[in-house]
């Protein structure tokens, strides 16, 4: 029998890489506030696992007990954890909770820019050995594994539910972040597709299929007049009050917008939309109606900088990319969406993937800075590096337009703390330009912070100088 007394320290080191290779380790330090008794009994290996005795050597590099800190390798991460509420137990489930929680955190990573969402979800096989120890361990692993789920097909929620039922756990209730990939086809999803995700906090949608090209599969409102459609003529998309907006969309009548039929969960705190073509107001109005708790909203576009070969842009004249790239009508656009968003009473962060830059900047870069012509076959590589000439010609005017729009939004939406815009002067042209809003203690708008941060994958541009971080 081993008695772990108050004041003792348990050190648990968890390897997060392949077995028998050099791995990054995390270290959990548990400061004991109450006695923990570890008393072996005559149980089978499976029963020992159910009691919490067994562990996988691939994830528990070593287990030590000491009275003070010890030097560890420099590639370890350390966490201090108190055990006030554990009481007497045989290596209690709470400790296994902590082990798995930190293991999944160390194994996962994510990054993003204004054109796409990138997430390296924890793979099940990374924790499978631990899950095979016992039923209890398997349930714990599944709970943390299900925290972020990627839907690739319409049947995935059902398959997840079946997996949970077979392990006596409702996995749908464990999902906090849901990523709907393009293959999921969210525009085909039924109205109640997200109904089982009762505690969902973050929803990431790939909405590239939001255009109907006259295919056999029609949008749910195919028999209703489509907005932007006018007897075979080109039509313009205006904002709700009829004012011209910089993301005006021009489309031939043979193409029509799709609207989401699926209801957004009312529990959402964060909604991220990527690769869309439809006007921002489509999503904003749905958020106002269905997401009263929303704190962060991202509306990112499909652009020539992220998907130059997109069928939607191929079918339009090259001059019509002002659907997401224009410095005209900025104040009217900001005022229009501000009037809608002020109804979302908890909104703190807003990111909109349009470029508040003169549309001529695209052709200027291709024909003058890069010595190319603006053709549909222009490779995406032409946009990968930042251009000093583009920065010199358009950075200041773009920054002024962004600050003008942000100030309007900051005054209209009383809870808003930051607004980001897609920025033409960023690396690969897909970075966010973020503007912070200053408020007094009562929440009254005071102004904008002095410096705008341009953020892209791994790079930060502050003011007029680029700094790698």
Reported as a single tens digit per residue, the pLDDT across 319-369 is 555 678 999 999 999 999 999 999 999 999 999 999 999 988 888 888 777
pLDDT digits (tens, 9 = 90+) for 384-398: 777 888 888 899 999
| Least trusted range by pLDDT, from 44-48, 81-85, 114-118, 459-463 | 459-463
Q: Has residue 468 got a pLDDT over 50? A: no
- Can you name the residues that pair with 459 across neighbouring β-strands? 456, 468
Q: Percent of the chain beyond pLDDT 70?
A: 59
pTM for the model: 0.71
Q: 294: pLDDT confidence band, cut at 50, 70 and 90?
A: very high
Q: Which two tokens stand for residue 70?
A: 């010890």
- Give the model's pLDDT for residue 217: 42
pLDDT tens track for 19-59 = 444 445 555 555 555 444 443 333 344 433 333 333 333 32
Predicted confidence at residue 396, as pLDDT, reads 93
Higher pLDDT, 115 or 74: 115
How far is C-alpha 178 from the geometric centre of its chain's CA atoms?
9
More confident residue, 10 or 251: 10
pLDDT at 62 over 80: no
Strands 177-180 and 148-151: parallel
Q: Among residues 67, 160, 179, which one has the least CA distance to residue 120?
A: 179
Confidence band for 419, pLDDT divided at 50, 70 and 90:
very high
- Strand segments, DSSP code E, in 42-134 are 62-66, 76-82, 109-112, 117-120
Of 236-245, 364-373, 420-429, give the range with the top mean pLDDT.
420-429
Q: How far apart are CA 422 and CA 301, in angstroms?
A: 9
Residue 14 has pLDDT above 80, yes or no: no
Q: How far is residue 186's CA from residue 189's CA, in Å, rounded to a whole number? A: 5
What band does 123 get if pLDDT is binned at 50, 70 and 90? low
DSSP string, 212-236: E-S-SS--TTTTSPPTT-BTTB-EE
Please indicate whether residue 204 or residue 93 has the higher confidence score (pLDDT). 204
Token pair belonging to 41: 């009994």
The token duo for 56 is: 């996988």
pLDDT score of 91: 62
The single residue listed with the structure tokens 């929620």 is 157
If one compares 157 and 68, the residue with the highest pLDDT of the two is: 157
pLDDT band at 250 (very low <50, low <70, confident <90, very high): very low
Name the one residue in this structure whose structure tokens are 């789920």. Answer: 149
Task: Dump pLDDT digits (tens) for 423-467.
Answer: 998 888 888 999 999 999 999 999 999 866 666 543 333 332 222
Rounded distance between C-alpha atoms, residue 359 and residue 322, angstroms = 6
- For every residue of 311-323, DSSP letters joined together read HHHHTS-GGGGGG
- pLDDT for 339: 96
The mean-pLDDT minimum among 15-19, 108-112, 211-215 falls in 15-19
pLDDT at 329: 93
């Amino acid at each position: 029998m081993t008695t772990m007394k108050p004041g003792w320290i348990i050190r648990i080191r968890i390897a997060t890489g392949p077995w028998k290779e050099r791995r990054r380790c995390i270290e959990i330090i548990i400061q004991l506030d109450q006695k923990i008794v570890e008393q072996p009994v005559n149980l089978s290996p499976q029963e020992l696992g159910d009691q919490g005795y067994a562990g996988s050597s691939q994830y528990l590099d070593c287990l030590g007990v000491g009275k003070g800190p010890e030097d560890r390798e420099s590639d370890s991460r350390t966490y201090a954890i108190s055990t006030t509420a554990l009481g007497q137990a045989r290596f209690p489930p709470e400790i296994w909770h902590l082990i798995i929680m930190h293991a999944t955190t160390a194994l996962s990573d994510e990054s993003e820019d204004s054109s796409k969402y990138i997430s390296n979800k924890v793979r099940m096989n990374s924790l499978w050995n631990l899950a095979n120890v016992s039923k209890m361990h398997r349930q714990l692993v599944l709970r943390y594994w299900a925290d972020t789920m990627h839907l690739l097909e319409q049947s995935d929620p059902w398959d997840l539910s079946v997996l949970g039922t077979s392990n006596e756990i409702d996995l749908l209730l464990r999902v906090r972040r849901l990523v709907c990939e393009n293959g999921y086809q969210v525009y085909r999803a039924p109205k109640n597709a997200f109904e089982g995700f009762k505690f969902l906090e973050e929803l990431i949608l790939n909405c590239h299929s939001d255009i109907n090209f006259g295919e056999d599969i029609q949008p749910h409102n195919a028999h209703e007049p489509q907005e932007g459609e006018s007897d075979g003529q080109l039509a313009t998309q205006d904002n709700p009050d009829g004012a011209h907006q910089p993301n005006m969309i021009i489309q031939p009548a043979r193409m029509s917008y799709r609207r989401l039929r699926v209801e957004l969960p009312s529990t959402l705190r964060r909604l991220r939309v990527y690769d869309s073509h439809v006007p921002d107001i489509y999503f904003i109005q749905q958020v106002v109606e269905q997401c009263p708790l929303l704190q962060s909203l991202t509306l990112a576009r499909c652009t020539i900088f992220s998907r130059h070969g997109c069928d939607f842009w191929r079918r339009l004249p090259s001059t019509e990319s002002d659907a997401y790239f224009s410095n005209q009508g900025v104040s009217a656009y900001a005022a229009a969406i501000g009037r809608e968003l002020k109804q979302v009473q908890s909104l703190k962060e807003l990111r909109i993937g349009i470029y508040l830059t003169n549309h001529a900047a695209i052709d200027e870069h291709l024909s003058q800075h890069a010595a190319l012509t603006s053709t549909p076959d222009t490779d995406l590589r032409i946009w990968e590096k930042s251009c000093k000439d583009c920065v010199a010609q358009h950075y200041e005017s773009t920054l002024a337009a962004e600050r003008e729009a942000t100030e309007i939004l900051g005054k209209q939406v009383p809870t808003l703390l930051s607004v980001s815009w897609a920025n033409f002067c960023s690396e690969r042209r897909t970075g966010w330009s973020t503007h912070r809003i200053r408020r007094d203690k009562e929440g009254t708008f005071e102004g904008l912070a002095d410096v705008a941060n341009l953020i892209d994958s791994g790079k930060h541009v502050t003011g007029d100088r680029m700094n790698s971080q």
